[in-house]
Amino acid sequence: MLLSAIAHEGDRFCEKEVSILFKDLFSKKRKYATIPSERTQPTKMNDGVMTKCPNCKTIMYSRELKKYLSLCSECGHHFRMTADERIESTIDAGTFREMDVGLLSGNPLDFPEYEEKLTRDQEKTGLNEAVVTGEGKIDDYPVVLGVMDSRFRMGSMGTVVGEKISRAMLQAEKTNTPLILFSASGGARMQEGVLSLMQMAKTSVALERLNEAKIPFISIMTHPTTGGVSASFASLGDYNFAEPGALIGFAGRKVIEQTIREELPEDFQTAEFLLQHGQLDRVVHRSEMKATLVQILKIHGWSQEEGDKNESQSSI
Amino acid sequence: MSHNLPFEKPVVELQNKIDELKNFTQEKDINLESEIKHLEERLQDLESQVYDELSPWERVQIARHSERPTPLDYIDYLFTDFLELHGDRLYGDDEAIISGIARYKGRPVTVIGQQRGRNTKENIRRNFGSPHPEGYRKALRLMKQADKFGRPIICFIDTKGAFPGKAAEERGISEAIARNLVEMAALRVPTIAIVIGEGGSGGALGLGVCNHMYMLENATYSVISPEGAATILWNDASQAQQAAETMRITTPDLNAFGIIDGVIPEVRGGAHYNIEKQAAYIDQTLESSLNELLGFSSEELRNQRFEKYNQIGKIDM
Ligand SMILES: [Zn+2]
């Protein structure tokens, strides 16, 4: 693998080489790759034939669960979705073209055992990193889509996640196409230290471009969206949605309890809590997600054929 | 100085011994000049040994020193006509962040910074420099004001992080920080940030998306505190020292990562040993940085920020 090598000079990074944190696995010509077939394998999140709902304790066939958007048939509990399941449930069949498949993390801090952890998660998930980005269509409306997957390093944002999201934003700007991001993240990626923190800045300068170009950005926070992802792009959609029951917040519950020495309400930092405190536009049930997205795309008047606004909208 | 750090002990002991001998010489009228001279030479060597190659953990301790100068300390030396302005116009005034207008070498500027208390009472009022959403929103309000009137913005960063509290979450600390990042990217005036103490995670970055970023030599900038990192990594906060080494949070690393535009030298032993001299060091960097940025058009300033953050941690496209 072309995992990047970070050269050392004494104890310090060489300035030139430190910037080589990752490399495209594929040649420049292959800017896009269609989603590889092994990537569409079923999730391993709920291994086994049967799955038990953590909310109502109903036991159901895992296969049935997958068929119904990973929603509990009894109580509607939203199970976590893999990136591939999310793409499949959101994007018109056969229209998704993944971007930047070959971006792989290096180990910029020489952090002990980081490479091993990345490899393990790559094998476990079939993903190269904690976010999948690409272009596709929703009810024929072209969109740029990013989906984070919490199975990969808890969806934490390292340099590759930041880079892919940033590139997705710039692609949306370049092609004048609405951007939709499904967040799922434990926050910063510890093993990349302050470089992980800087991804908040990197995605923000890209998002500023998108704002300037007046291209809509729909942010959907799924379980969990916390820390640095919550405190950057995920909170800055033109539309901020969340799935029911999703954990969304800046600081961890335990840290807060220890700091203020007070027990927190049970619904603290849930999507419903955020809605109540004015931090969300809506809590959107997964079964209505696609329809909601389409409704917004329609209102914005993006044409279904071209990645461009249609006549009636731009003449207003 | 009233409060010395553990690793400074040999220096302090030798210094005390020299002081004693000097007193003794005066009182008893005995000439110990050659001994004193000899010890003073040894003190110089010892000081170089102790201070010239500080370990990350020693820097962390200096950055957290209770007498570490705060924004308000530096403002006295660097600016004239500072007028503090309060409140976010939405909910309240967060005293963990101070902000106002001033003149820098005659030029109107806006100054913002995270402000610890300089004693316990003030620390409580200022929440130990850990801002709530109101702090970031006040900062943003004054940045927009600066933008409107074409004033450069200078931010001093010194915080363990945004406050992890119930109220902060209820009032949208995530959104407050996130909004600052994007709005700061869009500003049409020069923006300069200087990490003067601890640059703690998103709470620091909330004032830190800028054209030029500098750090004092012993300042830190990190995604998580060494204690927090140690807890996550080894389930043991007492391994913070080890975590400080592993996480690469001090100036040599930040410089090598290309995250900062320069390191501002510190007074030997730390800024608290001589605030006036430290302010003069800051002044030098600030002046040249601002002069450079004043040559940029507003569009160039915005583009410079984009390029700067867009390239962190990568090469190929
Ligand atoms: Zn259920």
**CB distance B202–A201 less than 8 Å?**
no
Lookup: tokens for B228: 């927090």
Show residues of chain A in contact with B314, CB under 8 Å: 19, 21-22, 159, 163
> In whole angstroms, what separates CA B143 from the centre of its chain?
19
Burial (CB count within 10 angstroms: exposed 0-12, middle 13-18, buried 19+), residue A272: middle
Q: Between chain A and chain B, how many beta carbons pairs sit less than 8 Å apart?
A: 189
Q: Give B227's DSSP letter.
A: H
Give the separation between CA A243 and CA A224, rounded to whole angstroms. Answer: 10
Total number of residues shown for chain B: 317
Could you tell me which residues come within 8 angstroms of residue B119 by beta carbon, excluding any fewer than 6 positions away? none
Residues A14-28: what's their mean pLDDT? Answer: 33
A303: confidence class by pLDDT, cuts 50, 70, 90: low
Mutation target vs A (from B187, B251, B309, B311; most A CBs, 10 A cutoff): B309
Give the separation between CA B140 and CA A239, rounded to whole angstroms. Answer: 21
The per-residue pLDDT for A294 is: 97
Give the separation between CA A10 and CA B243, rounded to whole angstroms. Answer: 20
Pick from A136-140, A276-280, A310-314, B32-36: least confident: A310-314
Distance from A49 to chain B by nearest Cα, in Å? 33
The per-residue pLDDT for A28 is: 36
Helix (H, G, I), strand (E, B) or coil at A303: coil
Residues A172-190: what's their mean pLDDT? Answer: 96
- C-alpha atoms less than 13 angstroms from C-alpha of B22 in its C-beta half-sphere: 10
Give the separation between CA A249 and CA B131, rounded to whole angstroms. Answer: 16
The backbone torsions φ and ψ at residue A259, rounded to the nearest 5 degrees and listed phi first, read -75, -50
Pick from A31-45, A113-127, B18-32: least confident: A31-45
The answer to the question of whether A14 is labelled as a binding residue is no
Residues A163-176: what's their mean pLDDT? Answer: 97
Q: Name the average pLDDT for chain A.
A: 84
For tokens 């207008």, the residue is B101
Contact A284, A151 (CB under 8 A): no
Domain boundaries, chain B: 6-53, 67-311
| Model confidence, pTM | 0.90
Asked whether the predicted pLDDT for residue A21 surpasses 50, the reply is: no
Ligand 1 centroid – CA A57 distance (Å)? 6
Residues A138-154: what's their mean pLDDT? Answer: 97
A275 part of contact set with chain B, CB < 8 Å = no
**CB distance B248–A193 less than 8 Å?**
yes
The per-residue pLDDT for B112 is: 98
Radius of gyration of chain A (CA): 20
Nearest CA in chain A to B303: A205
Of B170, B177, B313, the CB nearest to A231: B177
For residue range A51-96, what is the model confidence (pLDDT) as tens digits? 999 999 999 999 999 989 999 999 999 999 999 999 999 999 999 9
Return the C-alpha torsion angle B131, B136, B141, B145, nearest 10.
90
Report the complex ipTM: 0.95
Pick from A20-24, A149-153, B119-123: least confident: A20-24
Residue-range domains of chain A with CATH: 48-79 (no CATH), 81-300 (3.90.226.10)
Ligand 1 centroid – CA A72 distance (Å)? 5
Contact A82, A65 (CB under 8 A): no
The per-residue pLDDT for A302 is: 65
Are β-strands B153-159 and B107-114 bridged in parallel, bridged antiparallel, or unpaired?
A: parallel
Q: Is the dihedral of CA A231, A237, A239, A243 positive or negative?
A: negative
Show residues of chain B in contact with A201, CB under 8 Å: 181, 185, 205, 208-209, 309, 312
Mutation target vs B (from A2, A26, A202, A250; most B CBs, 10 A cutoff): A250
**CB distance B246–A112 less than 8 Å?**
yes
Of the candidates A55, A139, A58, A53, the one whose C-alpha atom is nearest the C-alpha of residue A93 is A139
Residues A202-213: what's their mean pLDDT? Answer: 98
Of A194, A200, A278, the CB nearest to B181: A200
Residue A217: which H helix or E strand, with range?
strand A217-226
For residue range B68-94, what is the model confidence (pLDDT) as tens digits? 999 999 999 999 999 999 999 999 999
Query: DSSP letters of A37-98?
Result: GGGGSPPSTT-SSEEE-TTT--EEEHHHHHHTTTB-TTT--B----HHHHHHHHSPTT--EE
Give the separation between CA A104 and CA A235, rounded to whole angstroms. Answer: 26
**CB distance A250–B259 less than 8 Å?**
no
Of B163, B178, B253, the CB nearest to A236: B178
The answer to the question of whether A53 is labelled as a binding residue is yes
Of A111, A112, A208, the CB nearest to B182: A208
Ligand 1 centroid – CA A79 distance (Å)? 9
Asked whether the predicted pLDDT for residue A43 surpasses 60, the reply is: no
Long-range contacts of B223-230 (CB under 8 A, 24+ apart): B223/A188, B223/A190, B223/A192, B223/A193, B223/A194, B223/A196, B223/A197, B223/A228, B223/B247, B224/A188, B224/A190, B225/B160, B225/B161, B225/B200, B225/B201, B226/B57, B226/B60, B229/A190
State percent of chain A over pLDDT 70.
80
Which ranges of chain B have pLDDT less than 50?
A: 1, 315-317
Span B67-311 CATH architecture: Alpha-Beta Complex (3.90)
Give the separation between CA A193 and CA B313, rounded to whole angstroms. Answer: 12
Of the candidates B262, B273, B290, the one whose C-alpha atom is nearest the C-alpha of residue B78 is B290
A304: confidence class by pLDDT, cuts 50, 70, 90: low
For residue range A213-242, what is the model confidence (pLDDT) as tens digits? 999 999 999 999 999 999 999 999 999 999
The answer to the question of whether A72 is labelled as a binding residue is yes
